Amino acid sequence: MKDVKLTSVNILENLYNHFKVTVVNSNMTLQKLTNRSVFLYLNDKEFRDRLDTTDDLTISASRF
């Protein structure tokens, strides 16, 4: 596990709960989603632009 970085993040509870229900019968995990999302963010400009302009997840802090 030398190439793995342990980190912690805060995730919006309602999104996490919806994610768990959605993936219950699949092989997708939050770890897979995170790694794939970071990869796409770094390598796919359209994906990066789409994430950069998605702002309707904000509850009360800009960090989300």
Q: Is the dihedral of CA 5, 7, 9, 15 positive or negative?
A: positive
3-58 pLDDT, tens per residue?
Answer: 999 999 999 999 999 999 999 999 999 999 999 999 999 999 999 999 999 888 76
pLDDT greater than 90 at residue 2: no
User: What pLDDT, on a 0 to 100 scale, did the predictor assign at position 64?
Assistant: 58
Report CA-CA distances (Å) from 54 to 2, 24, 26, 27: 33, 25, 26, 26
User: What pLDDT, on a 0 to 100 scale, did the predictor assign at position 61?
Assistant: 54
19-33 pLDDT, tens per residue?
Answer: 999 999 999 999 999
Q: Which pTM does this prediction carry? A: 0.79
